[in-house]
Structure 1
Amino acid sequence: MLNWKNLDTLSSYAELQKVKAVNLKEVMTGENGAARVKNYSVPMAEGMAYNYGAKAVDEDVLAALVKLASEAQLAEKYEDLYNGDMINTGEKRLVLHQLTRGQLGQDVVVDGENKRAFYVEQQKRIAAFAEKVHSGEIANAAGEKFTTVVQIGIGGSDLGPRAMYLALENWAKTKGLLKMNAQFISNVDPDDAAAVLRNIDVAHSLFILVSKSGTTLETLTNQTFVMNALRKLGLDPAKHMIAVTSATSPIATSPEYLAAFYMDDYIGGRYSSTSAVGGAVLSLAFGPEVFAEFLEGAAAEDKLAAEKDPMKNPDMLDALIGVYERNVLGYESTAILPYSQGLSRFPAHLQQLDMESNGKSVNRFGEPVDYPTGPVIFGEPGTNGQHSFYQLLHQGKDIIPLQFVGFRENQIGMDDTIQGSTSQQKLCANVAAQIVAFACGKEDENRNKNFEGGRPSSIIIGQQLNPRTLGALLAHYENKVMFQGFCWNLNSFDQEGVQLGKVLAKKVLAHETDGALKVYSDLLNI
């Protein structure tokens, strides 16, 4: 029997608050620090590891977090989720994104349909379509191969798939596996669509419209923009466009598309990169085999997340330490700092994943909670961030926990020695230096040059950013957010906070405004 209780009603949380705080600067100095870094590490899937040696935790804090995990029934709630319980209480829906990449528990059957079989069927349909596009069997009106794929979507239909494509683009080029270049149109600002169309060969481009409902205002507006551009060039939009939508949407059987692939209501947009939403564009860009490897990496990490012992479960442990930092230490933000250029848009995806999931002030029953919930997420890839906002991270008044991601090898397989070291060695040297600098600081009589230290961080380390490690990394963060939502007793799978602005925007466009809304509308010449 599951108990859904607020964090502040749990006896283990009261115990956690009484545990003596760790002096991070002290424990990270000298040989003590070396021992922590070696010992405070948990294996992840695909040869990766979650290292929390530079976090402000010790054996006492960790023991309290293990008790919290048990009392909050984190493992049991995850098990219920992947076995098909109705976890999304706000919309009364199942939560099945893990099922797009593997079967963790029992069969999930909805209205007589096996959902795992449904997701596999869509993956097979996408793979077959992609192979026909790559072979030229499906071609443009002139019988010429499509060379570019353009995804039209917004929110989870853009951020995740875009981040995943960028993460693998350079790797695929190096391996000779880039089948088609990919571009993305998301912003309803016409400058976005116009810029993409100017930079591609439209006649050799295949467009993917992604909208679960088939009614998303921004996406349909951009679709029309693209269709008009195709017609102006004398091209038939129906021969240049496919759809990813629900089977019951108005565009599911429309003759305006070459093909339609399906998703369902049990996968939220921000969790949809391993569904048809990411599958279509990634399979067309890299080939179905690469997308399959991506799914296998995610499935392997999901399996680790089912481990009941938090000390052997990297996703759960990362989540618990985050709860400790947010609710006991009082840290309001978290910076995601990937030292890999391929992950340039990964922090933007994690912003939506985390803040849309756990940016809530009521629990899963609609009752107000009296404790902080999801943190503010931001980040940029290193080393660019070091020359930007790291000043505040090092010497600002607020302590902001940090999550680094680093790889021992680059994606290109070559790296010249320049001034005694390779570029990859320089990159990794900066990661190591920053972790210790944040934790230990530096004393200086000149206060302007003094670093207080005590700034906690963790790092996920892998050998190379490739489809399997990317899948594992994505699943790690999805599971971390899920476990934190369980701790806070939130529904992490709806997003009512994005709806009010949409409603008011429709009123503005219909000229049904008064008060401040009318004045702003007039100022913007609507």
Structure 2
Amino acid sequence: MAMTLRCDRAPAWAQLQAAFETAGRQFDVRHAFVDDAGRFERFSQEAPHVFADLSKNLIDARTQELLFTLARECGLEAHRDAMFAGEHINTTEDRAVLHTLLRAPADAPTGPKTANELREVHATLDAMLAYAEKVRSDHTITDVVNIGIGGSDLGPQMAVLALAEFAAPGKRFHFVSNVDGHELASVLRDLAPEHTLFLVASKTFTTAETMANALSARRWYEQSGGTDIAGHFAALTTNVEAARQFGIDTTFGFWDWVGGRYSLWSAIGLPIALAIGADGFRRLLAGAHAMDGHFRSAPLEQNLPVRLGLLDVWYRNFHGFTSRGIAPYHSALKRLPAYLQQLEMESNGKQVDAEGAALSIGTSPVLWGEPGTNGQHAYFQMLHQGTDVIPLEFVAVRDAAHDLDGHHPKLLANALAQAQALMVGKLDAGGHKNFPGNRPSTFFVFDKLTPESLGAFLALYEHRVFTSGALWGINSFDQWGVELGKVLAKDIEPRLASGDIMGLDASTAGLLKRLGTRA
């Protein structure tokens, strides 16, 4: 299996350090536009369903060429090809990484290691979409409640909200993830059992938060007079037997090579299919597949996910930027920042490389954001005048899906103006109204927000994260950091009732006394 060379061990690394000291540290993008009339064309690119303007970033042609050299020295292309071929690049779990197979057409050319998997993918997809159409035509079901957490919640919730324009009327969608009972209780308050379908999304059917919510939902259903659990509950799981013991007959599974944060393309995406229909879901897959093809075949110099991933390395490891903001200028994309947080930070939030050696360079930045224009009245103050430089990414949609006069031009004008203001700044000798400018941003444009453009953009981000993770030499496809807190919670939960603090540190013991059960 192809392995990558860690970027800080590649020959181009020293050249990039020299380039940063001589030109990168004091780089001024405003001067770069003056010196290069073709900068916008050189640093912008059309990819499947997505246009990206990278020209306002702190990078020049020489640095970009060195980054492409770095990618080749690290073996990025071979590592990418190994993923698509079904090699076990998730080394710590000895698994393949084949989420791209979930959106490949049934007749897509495939290698010997993935042919059987592709057949299984389409058998499951066809069954899931047939079920979705059946439920969509059942007008007695007015409410769908998805119970999951992490990838079993963030992806479906984000996509259902994003594609609401394409949803059939007559069904409401609710998402419950938090083990905090207030969330589930607030959803159940307005439901009728005979009109509700519950989806329990857990690969193992053992996820603590999900199963606590699922058991409470079943109890509510029965106490409210419901008698047909099998007809009002479905499971997205590979543990068919556990689902059957719960009372569920309808199950759709997926595979161990599908990480949770890459799972909305699988049966976990059933809420999306219920919302936008089988055709809409296939369009979502098609958009992602188009971006897969771009990532797989475009030369590095014209490969948008690669260019973004290399820019992330440049910013994180040379400029020392520890954070990146994302501002979608479309209210339907309100959950996009949360979705991308998991995708990037759970994938690349690692401190050792794939061999277990400690890293001396930074990995995942903190990713955060809020829809524009809301964010302008919140955190943009810091972006413009704060002491930290934080690259920002704008996502804009050219065509509105509404006919309210005057709104969309105002929205787009705000997006364009904020990106411009971050770059150009404004001089004020008094200081308080001084905008330093030269603050970097990337600007993404969709012609329309459609299943295809959303699918392509999400795949773009997946491959971007793959690129930076590959150069850092880390395994982007495990998430052991999620586990420790879960283990400790199992020990602490009974102590809240018993008051037992034996063996606990003083802080945890003191807080447990404060929060424990009162007689």
TM bucket, shorter chain: over 0.9
Paired position in structure 2 for 1:276:
267
Q: State the shift of 1:286 in Å.
A: 1.6
**Separation in 2, partners of 1:454, 1:274:** 38
Q: State the shift of 1:322 in Å.
A: 0.8
Q: Does 1:184 align with 2:175?
A: yes
**Separation in 2, partners of 1:5, 1:392:** 37
Q: Give the residue type in structure 2 aligned to 1:127.
A: L
Is the 2:193–2:225 contact (alpha carbons within 8 Å) kept by the matching residues of 1? Answer: no
Paired position in structure 2 for 1:158:
153
3-state SS of 1:158 partner: helix
3-state SS of 2:393 partner: strand
Paired position in structure 1 for 2:57:
55
Deviations 1:152-178 (A, max 9, x none): 000110011111111011x225xxx34
Q: Give the residue type in structure 2 aligned to 1:521.
A: L
Q: Give the residue type in structure 2 aligned to 1:515.
A: L
**Separation in 2, partners of 1:108, 1:54:** 44
Q: State the shift of 1:234 in Å.
A: 0.6
Paired position in structure 1 for 2:401:
411
Q: State the shift of 1:522 in Å.
A: 2.1
Q: State the shift of 1:519 in Å.
A: 3.0
Paired position in structure 2 for 1:141:
none
Is the 1:178–1:286 contact (alpha carbons within 8 Å) kept by the matching residues of 2? Answer: no
Paired position in structure 1 for 2:510:
519
Is the 2:236–2:268 contact (alpha carbons within 8 Å) kept by the matching residues of 1? Answer: yes
Is the 2:373–2:411 contact (alpha carbons within 8 Å) kept by the matching residues of 1? Answer: yes
3-state SS of 1:306 partner: helix
Q: 1:105 to 1:333 in 2, by over 3 A?
A: farther
**Separation in 2, partners of 1:68, 1:257:** 51
Deviations 1:218-261 (A, max 9, x none): 00000011111111111023321000001x45435446114000
Deviations 1:51-102 (A, max 9, x none): 1010011111111111011111212211110110001111111111111001
**Separation in 2, partners of 1:158, 1:186:** 6
Is the 2:4–2:79 contact (alpha carbons within 8 Å) kept by the matching residues of 1? Answer: no
Q: Does 1:45 align with 2:45?
A: no
Is the 1:394–1:453 contact (alpha carbons within 8 Å) kept by the matching residues of 2? Answer: yes
Deviations 1:90-128 (A, max 9, x none): 111111111100167633547xx8111111111100111
**Separation in 2, partners of 1:496, 1:249:** 25
Q: Give the residue type in structure 2 aligned to 1:168.
A: L
Equivalent residue runs for 1:94-493 within 5 Å:
94-102=96-104, 106-107=110-111, 109=113, 114-136=116-138, 145-169=140-164, 171-172=165-166, 177-178=168-169, 180-236=171-227, 237-246=229-238, 248=239, 250-254=241-245, 256-278=247-269, 280-412=270-402, 414-416=403-405, 422-493=406-477
**Separation in 1, partners of 2:209, 2:271:** 19
**Structure 2-normalised TM-score?**
0.93
Deviations 1:260-283 (A, max 9, x none): 0001110111111111101x1111
Deviations 1:416-472 (A, max 9, x none): 1xxxxx211111111111111111211011201001111111111111111110000
**Separation in 2, partners of 1:453, 1:225:** 53
**Separation in 2, partners of 1:161, 1:370:** 36
Number of aligned residues:
503
Runs of 5+ consecutive residues of structure 2 not aligned to the other structure: none
Q: Give the residue type in structure 2 aligned to 1:449.
A: K
Equivalent residue runs for 1:2-17 within 5 Å:
2-17=2-17
Is the 1:212–1:249 contact (alpha carbons within 8 Å) kept by the matching residues of 2? Answer: no
Is the 2:29–2:57 contact (alpha carbons within 8 Å) kept by the matching residues of 1? Answer: no
Runs of 5+ consecutive residues of structure 1 not aligned to the other structure: 137-143, 417-421
Is the 1:134–1:145 contact (alpha carbons within 8 Å) kept by the matching residues of 2? Answer: no
**Structure 1-normalised TM-score?**
0.92
Paired position in structure 1 for 2:38:
35
Q: Give the residue type in structure 1 aligned to 2:142.
A: T
